[in-house]
Amino acid sequence: MRDDPLFYVVAAACVVVLLILLTGIGGFAKGGDFNRKHANRIMRLRILAQFVAVVLLVGFVWLRSKG
């Protein structure tokens, strides 16, 4: 599985979601002006990134189960 490039794409997408989530949690914990300005944008970005990661993951599983 590790020699499959699609595996690394899926893993990278999951890491991106994690980084966005941690940024949002950090902004929420800190509060202040950054949270007021960017909280909704970060949440929307996280939802979009999660959607992409789930689609890639399901596609990866589907492609590997066929063969």
* 19-56 tens-digit pLDDT: 999 999 999 998 889 889 999 999 999 999 999 999 99
28 near 35, Cβ under 8 Å? yes
At residue 31, the pLDDT reads: 87
Buried b (16+ CB within 10 A) or exposed e, 19-41: ebeeebeebeeeeeeebeeeeee
Residue 36 structural domain = 5-66
Q: How many domains does the chain have?
A: 1
At residue 61, the pLDDT reads: 93
Model-level pTM? 0.86
Q: Pick the closest to residue 53 from 22, 25, 18, 24 (CA basis).
A: 18
Higher per-residue pLDDT: 9 or 66? 9
